[in-house]
Structure 1
Amino acid sequence: MNSAQPPFRFLVAESETPEARKARRDSVGRSSGETYLDILRRLAPGATCDSIQPADADAALPPGTGLTGYDAVFLTGSPLHLYEETPETRRTVDFMRAVFAAGTPAFGSCAGLQVATVAAGGSVRPNARSPEAGFARQITPTEAGRTHPLLAGRPASYDAPAIHTDEVEALPPGAKLLAGNRVTAVQAAEIRFEGGVFWGVQYHPEIGLDEVAGALRRQSSTLVEAGLARGDEDAEAFAKQIDALHREPGRRDLAWRLGLDEQVTDERLRLAEMRNFIEALSRLGREGLLAVGK
Structure 2
Amino acid sequence: MSQSQSKFRFLVAESETPEARQGRRESVGRSSGETYLGILREIAPGSACDRIMPADAGAELPTGATLSGYDAVFLSGSPLHLYEETPETHRTVAFMRAVFASGTPAFGSCAGLQVATVAAGGSVRPNARGREAAFARRITLTDVGREHPLLAGRPAAYDAPAIHTDEVEALPSGAVLLAGNRVTAVQAAEIRFDGGVFWGVQYHPEIGLDEVAGALRRQADGMIEAGLARSQDDVEAYARQVDDLHREPHRRDLAWRLGLDEQVTDGHLRRTELRNFIESLARLGREGLLAVGK
Same fold (TM over 0.5): yes
1:118 counterpart residue number: 118
Unaligned runs of 5+ in 1: none
Q: How much does 1:3 deviate?
A: 3.0
Distance change (3 Å), C-alpha of 1:242 and 1:61:
same
Q: Which whole-Å deviations, capped at 9, do the CAs of 1:243-273 have from their partners, x for residues lacking one? A: 1111111110000000000000000000000
The amino acid across from 1:183 in the alignment is: V
2:137 counterpart residue number: 137
The amino acid across from 1:68 in the alignment is: S
Contact 1:2 1:283 in 2 (8 A): no
Contact 2:135 2:163 in 1 (8 A): yes
* Secondary structure of residue in 1 paired with 2:45: coil
Q: In structure 1, how many angstroms separate the alpha carbons of the residues matched to 2:221 and 2:234? A: 11
1:210 counterpart residue number: 210
The 5 A counterparts of 1:1-294 are 1-4=1-4, 7-294=7-294
Contact 2:125 2:167 in 1 (8 A): yes
Q: Which whole-Å deviations, capped at 9, do the CAs of 1:5-27 have from their partners, x for residues lacking one? A: 56000000000000000000000
Distance change (3 Å), C-alpha of 1:126 and 1:4:
closer
Q: In structure 1, how many angstroms separate the alpha carbons of the residues matched to 2:237 and 2:267? A: 23
Q: How much does 1:160 deviate?
A: 0.2
Unaligned runs of 5+ in 2: none
Contact 1:137 1:160 in 2 (8 A): yes
Q: In structure 1, how many angstroms separate the alpha carbons of the residues matched to 2:196 and 2:2? A: 23
The amino acid across from 2:62 in the alignment is: P
Q: In structure 2, how many angstroms separate the alpha carbons of the residues matched to 1:30 and 1:5? A: 25
Q: Which whole-Å deviations, capped at 9, do the CAs of 1:103-134 have from their partners, x for residues lacking one? A: 00000000000000000000000000011100
* Secondary structure of residue in 2 paired with 1:164: coil
The amino acid across from 1:178 in the alignment is: L
Q: How much does 1:207 deviate?
A: 0.5
Q: Once superposed, what is the RMSD of the aligned Cα atoms?
A: 0.8
Contact 1:140 1:181 in 2 (8 A): yes
The amino acid across from 2:23 in the alignment is: A
Q: In structure 2, how many angstroms separate the alpha carbons of the residues matched to 1:3 and 1:73? A: 20
- Deviates further, 51-60 or 4-13: 4-13
Contact 1:161 1:205 in 2 (8 A): yes
Q: In structure 1, how many angstroms separate the alpha carbons of the residues matched to 2:2 and 2:285? A: 10
* Secondary structure of residue in 1 paired with 2:163: strand
Q: Which whole-Å deviations, capped at 9, do the CAs of 1:121-153 have from their partners, x for residues lacking one? A: 000000000111000000000000000000000
- How many residues align? The count is 294
Q: Which whole-Å deviations, capped at 9, do the CAs of 1:170-193 have from their partners, x for residues lacking one? A: 000010000000000000000000
Contact 2:122 2:170 in 1 (8 A): yes
Show structure 1 runs of 4+ deviating over 6 A: none
Q: How much does 1:2 deviate?
A: 3.3
Q: In structure 1, how many angstroms separate the alpha carbons of the residues matched to 2:65 and 2:3? A: 25
